[in-house]
Amino acid sequence: MTAWALRRLAATIPVLLGVTLVTFVLTYLLPGDPARAMAGERYREEDLDRIRRELGLDRSLPEQYATYLGRLARGELGVSFATGRPVADDLAERFPRTLLLAAASLALALVLGLPLGTLAARFAGSFVDRAATVFALLGVSLPVFWTAMLLLSVFAIRLRWVPPSGYVDTSVLAIVLPAVTLGVRSAAVIARMTRASLLDVLGQDYLRTARAKGVGEAGVLVRHGLRAALVPVVTLVGLDFGSYLSGSVLTESIFAWPGVGQYALQAILRRDFPAIQATVLLLAVVFVVVNLLVDLAYGALDPRIRVRPEKAGAS
Amino acid sequence: MLAFGLASAGGCARRDAAPPGLLRLAWSADPASLDPAHAVDVVGASAVALVYEGLVTLDREGRVAPGIARAWDVDSTGTRYLFHLDPEAKASDGSRIDAGVVRAAFLRLLDPSHVSPRAWVLDAIDGAASYARGEGGELRGVRALSDDELEIRLASPRASFLGLLAMPNAAVVPASGDVSGSVGTGPWIVAARVAGSSLRLERNPHWHGARPGFEAIDVRIIPEEFTRVAEFEVGRLDVLEIPASQSKRFREDPRWGERVQRQVALVTDYIGLNNEDPVLRDVRVRRALNHAVHVERILETILEGRGVRSTGAIPPGIPGGGGGEAYPYDPERARSLLAEARVPEDWVLQLWQRPNPLVAQVLEAVQADLRAVGVTSEILQRDWGALKAAIDRGETPAFLMNWFADYPDAENFLVPMFHSANAGGGGNRARYRNAAIDARLEELERTPDAAARAEMARAVDAAVAADAPWIYLWHPIREAVTSERVKGWTPHPVPSGERWIEAAPRVAAAR
């Protein structure tokens, strides 16, 4: 298994290299340049030229890319044009915050979505099922910013149960609103997927066998049925977790959560090339790792698709 | 709006408890750097102004006031300044700020290996420009005559020099060169910082000026306007700059109405016209556009009165500003000028803007007014970086922008925005070129007498307005509100002049 995982990781290196190349080219194609962003409202052309020289922006694109790859090979992500700090330090500070928010959002999504989807499948066609469907529809239809503002207005301003914004260093409750904003949407999709997948599984023969052997309904549902039904849900969770880790820009901005999403947005607006490139690379690595974990989870959930080294190419 | 109404209707009275000596603020972005040499945006400049002090500062009326220098003399030629430093001026580590430290700070700003985009602030100093270009030699224009006396010689008289010295970029960093903010020369020092999230400032124990009323400041970084308003409403912020959409609500709310303060900002909002554009280079077309747009109606409806119609570039509140006549709304006159100029029928005027909903509404109204006189226009939105780059390269026929005062002097508006040497990135975004106006602006820069300068500035402003390089809009009115915890504060006319010294805790009456 370890050898398989290592081989999988090694296979992603060309992908990551491709990501760096595409990002590099795209950032240079962006209109506006970092030298102007650093120079501010009023500057002299000679100052602009000097800034470009200092940042190495006066060299050709292939030359700059080669320098960038050389730095990457040495484990350096570069220095932010805007702050003058190593980008690695900036990301090391911010990524754990995004990770915390992602974990909280995912936990909420699972705690809400799985039971809801399970109940909807168990009582398919009943009021519970219909209520779950409405919840799911609302969850996926409401735009994130609308949900965020509604939650802010009701729970922070009117009821004063939680602070409107901030990071957990000012108040532990600051995580509640952003986690709910993100988690509710995922919970809705997880509920629908769980319901559909479980309905598919509930009609299977092996569950009838389990009942015949005297396993209680809860045991049939959760231990036998849900476990098999979770495979597509795990894919969904993986995708969602990956997207949370890329930093939900809107949510982080609205709730002033100082994570990777906000950092990426600031970097793009400032044309902070090293920060943009490093952030994209980080997110690519995150997706690779999350996909790997998802594949491993498949095997844990369903022995029929357990990955063996000799079957690595089939997954 | 509905959400806010619902939320405010029955909110319970719980307030976030904070120690009385703590002032709680919010900024819309994290300062990229606390280095005075790299503070090019409003947030950065505001941060630097709290932690570092210059030779001079700006008082609450926007006039130049003593800083590290307690007094100064200017000779009759206007080129020799002698600053007498306060012997009590110390950095927060207790080290003395003497003439040598001030000189070192200026050398640092001009250091060619440091590439400060604001080195131009000290350009007027003899030898500064060549020093900044790396042409070597001494900075002959700055000499420490003694610990307490600093002599500055200018290459030629520059009446606004003291205003330039009041800019945060000219602030003095400590002798150690530490620009993290943890050692400062101003009223506050950075005690803690969580990048992207918050900044904690405490009083500089060695600061020579008046002791700030508050003991500490907590600044939180809150990018969204809606969220800042929410934080203020629940009592977690003490000062809020009220967004236009919330203006009426705050003014009419009995909780805050009396504490809302309004001020005409030292800002000018305008629609720049590319004076090099084949159609717009004709002054008749530019004047026609000014007559076509019903600015007063836009001010009244979209801005709800939060602005003063501009008659020129200089805002009222700056000597030389606020006089003259605005272009009257006259669509007939507009049509006749356009016909006279033989504007091609298929001409489409591109109106560029940054992504801002209020600006979008304004430009839609402008578009409608232009259509009424037969001018077709299209609105393009670009993010700030792309918009600025396009403007600086002369690719934008028309663009809605603004200009903030760095220091309250007419020169800060007229020279960057209308002198031909500044066409493009220097501030003259309209690429307006007029040799006669250039000469008058250069004379303005050399004229020391305040009354004469004001008159001269007014005349130049009116002459430029007659050339209509822009569609003149307004000077915005800023509104701010404080919580009941704060007393003694009025908004500073220049954002980077705010140092939170006069603001003090309002102690609640015993019940």
- DSSP conformation class of A121: H
Report, as an integer, the average pLDDT of B10-39. Answer: 80
Distance separating the N- and C-terminal Cα atoms of chain A:
13
pLDDT per residue over B350-402, tens digit each?
999 999 999 999 999 999 999 999 999 999 999 988 999 999 999 999 999 99
In this predicted structure, the answer to whether residue A202 has a pLDDT above a threshold of 50 is yes
Calculate the alpha carbon distances from A127 to A116, A120, A121, A122, A124 in Å. 12, 9, 12, 12, 9
pLDDT at B359: 96
Contact B83/B98 with Cβ under 8 angstroms?
Answer: no
Which residues in chain B are closer than 8 Å to A50, comparing Cβ atoms? 112, 115
B22 touches chain A (CB under 8 A): no
In this predicted structure, the answer to whether residue A313 has a pLDDT above a threshold of 50 is no
B133 touches chain A (CB under 8 A): yes
Interface list for B 317-356 with A (CB within 8 A): none
User: Taking CA atoms, what residue in B is nearest to A255?
Assistant: B227
Q: Indicate left, alpha or beta for B325 from its phi (over 0: left) and psi (-120 to 50: alpha).
A: beta
Q: For chain A, what is the mean pLDDT?
A: 85
Residue from A29, A46, A47, A98 whose CB has the most chain B CBs within 10 Å, to mutate: A47
Calculate the alpha carbon distances from A8 to A14, A133, A309 in Å. 12, 38, 11
pLDDT per residue over A19-34, tens digit each?
889 988 888 888 878 8
ipTM higher than the 0.85 cut = yes
Size of interface A-B (CB pairs under 8 A): 164
Q: Using 50, 70 and 90 to split pLDDT, how confident is the model at A304? A: low
Which residues in chain A are closer than 8 Å to B422, comparing Cβ atoms? 42
Tell me the β-bridge partners of B403.
B268
pLDDT per residue over A205-232, tens digit each?
777 777 778 777 777 777 767 777 788 8
In this predicted structure, the answer to whether residue A307 has a pLDDT above a threshold of 90 is no
- Range with the poorest average pLDDT among B59-63, B70-74, B465-469: B59-63
CB contact under 8 A, A94 and B16: no
pLDDT per residue over B415-449, tens digit each?
999 999 999 888 999 999 999 999 999 999 999 88
pLDDT at A308: 52
Q: How many CB atoms lie within 10 A of CB B200?
A: 16
Which residues in chain A are closer than 8 Å to B115, comparing Cβ atoms? 47, 50-51, 54
pLDDT at B413: 95
CB contact under 8 A, A165 and B222: yes
Report, as an integer, the average pLDDT of B485-492. Answer: 94
Higher per-residue pLDDT: B338 or B245? B338
Q: Using 50, 70 and 90 to split pLDDT, how confident is the model at B252? A: very high
In this predicted structure, the answer to whether residue B8 has a pLDDT above a threshold of 50 is no
pLDDT per residue over B278-311, tens digit each?
999 999 999 999 999 999 999 999 999 999 999 9
The two counts, helices (H) then strands (E), for chain B are 15, 20
CB contact under 8 A, B118 and A164: no
Nearest CA to CA, how far is B197 from chain A (Å)?
6
pLDDT at A28: 82
> Residues of chain B with pLDDT > 90: what percent?
82
H or E stretch at B80:
strand B80-85
Higher per-residue pLDDT: A135 or B294? B294
Contact A115/A226 with Cβ under 8 angstroms?
Answer: no
Report which of A289, A282, A290 is spatially closest to residue A77, judged by C-alpha positions.
Answer: A282
Read off the pTM.
0.89
Calculate the alpha carbon distances from A135 to A112, A177, A226 in Å. 11, 18, 21
pLDDT at A122: 86
pLDDT per residue over B95-107, tens digit each?
999 999 999 999 9
User: Taking CA atoms, what residue in A is nearest to B413?
Assistant: A42
Higher per-residue pLDDT: B15 or A232? A232
pLDDT at B469: 98
Report which of B118, B401, B410 is spatially closest to residue A44, judged by C-alpha positions.
Answer: B118
> Residues of chain A with pLDDT > 90: what percent?
33
In this predicted structure, the answer to whether residue A311 has a pLDDT above a threshold of 80 is no
Residue from B197, B268, B356, B388 whose CB has the most chain A CBs within 10 Å, to mutate: B197
In this predicted structure, the answer to whether residue B315 has a pLDDT above a threshold of 70 is yes
Query: Considering CB atoms only, which of A36, A38, A40 is closest to B389?
Result: A36
Radius of gyration of chain B (CA): 24
Q: What six digits make up the tokens of A120?
A: 């909807």
CA distance B147 to B175: 13
